[in-house]
Amino acid sequence: MSLQTPTATTPIILTGDRPTGPLHLGHFVGSLRNRVTYQDEYRQFIMLADAQALTDNMDDIGKVHRNVIEVALDYLAVGIDPAKSTILIQSQIPELAELTFYYLNLVTVARLERNPTVKQEIIMRGFERDIPAGFLTYPASQAADISAFKATIVPVGEDQIPMIEQCNEIVRKFNRNAGRDILVECKAIVPEVGRLPGIDGKAKMSKSLGNTINLGASADEIRAAVKMVYTDPLHLKVSDPGHLEGNVAFLYLDAFDTDKAGLAEMKAHYVRGGLGDSVVKKRLEGILQDMLAPIRARREELAKDKGQVMQILKDGTMKARDVAARTTDEVRKALGLSYF
């Protein structure tokens, strides 16, 4: 079902990314390949959350601006179809900022600080008490992003579930104050495959940590990255029994190898000993090369006409703004803010 012919019962899904760098394997396994499927099942809005990215990137605003087009290229290269999914730029829809302003009156600073996702992100970024106000209030901003499109489903990582819970708290409180249901609650969908670790074994795959394999990586870059993939530090000799726990090579194979029987046999061989890491990495490299080559080719072709890509973003943003404007008008009327 395409966006042009949604029915009244078509579930609405909102998903997206902060454009702070090109997308990588972690994004692909965690969300991108699911979005290609979602666009045939849901009315899907995909947001480039550039305004939210500024909450901790005000010292490098150029990075956010540059990566809007880079992330859009990744979206289109993996198969997201703008005829089926609406791709939008957050900052170009002022209604989202307006809704955020209203929602901030429905949540306390103490509640924002208790949000487990926000607390963890503050620690990870080393803010301590020097927390940008925009970053602290992100749960209200995310509630605006979701409720503006009356999304009923939001795919997130497990660590983001508290954000969805707080969004629903805001929605319920607004509806109680309004005396009727204007906004809708949403449900989180957590991908079956969790977050992929970086090639170095660290929990987070991040460009800033230099431990990613980008979707547009060249064949040589893929080969070099796979050689660096963390395996089992105790597997010193081929004859040594190997361990699967924390072994990034096998975590990646679990995510991308479609030959599950062959993979199970390889795992058993590795555990009992007699199988070198180089053999495991050769299998992994072959799979990644085959998977990323067509994505890279499509991306390179699309990059030849970035004007067309920006037109796709403009069209999607204008379509999305129409939807957000209708919701914002309902919210204003419920708050008694419609005067003319």
Which pair of tokens denotes residue 189?
């969908």
Closest CA to 156 of 247, 35, 302: 35
Contact assessment for residue 191 and residue 222, using Cβ atoms and an 8 Å cutoff: no
**What is the reported pLDDT for 5?**
43
Q: Would you put residue 132 in left (φ > 0), alpha (ψ -120 to 50) or beta? A: beta
Residue-by-residue pLDDT tens, the chain, 340 positions: 334 444 445 799 999 999 998 899 988 887 898 999 999 999 999 999 999 999 888 889 999 999 999 999 999 999 999 999 999 999 999 999 999 999 999 999 999 989 998 888 888 778 877 888 888 999 999 999 999 999 999 999 888 999 999 999 999 999 999 999 999 999 999 877 667 899 999 887 877 778 999 999 999 999 999 999 999 999 999 999 999 999 999 999 999 999 999 999 999 999 999 999 999 999 999 999 999 999 999 999 999 999 999 999 999 999 999 999 999 999 999 999 999 8
> Are residues 219 and 293 in contact, defined by beta-carbon separation less than 8 angstroms?
yes
Here the tokens at position 39 are: 């666009």
What's the pTM value of the predicted model, to 2 decimals? 0.90
- Helical pair 260-272 and 277-302, crossing angle rounded to 10 deg: 140
Maximum CA extent, the chain: 80
- Yes or no: say if 89 and 145 are a contact pair by the CB < 8 Å rule: no
Residue 48 amino acid letter: L
* Pairwise CA distance, residues 306 & 72, whole Å: 10
DSSP 229-280: ----TT--STTSPP--TT-HHHHHHHHH---HHHHHHHHHHHHHS---HHHH
Structural domains of the chain sorted by starting position, each given as residue range(s) with its CATH number in brackets: 12-196+306-334 (3.40.50.620), 207-299 (1.10.240.10)
Q: What is the DSSP string of 30-91?
A: IIIHHHHHHTTTSEEEEEE-HHHHGGGTGGGHHHHHHHHHHHHHHHHHHT--TTTEEEEEGG
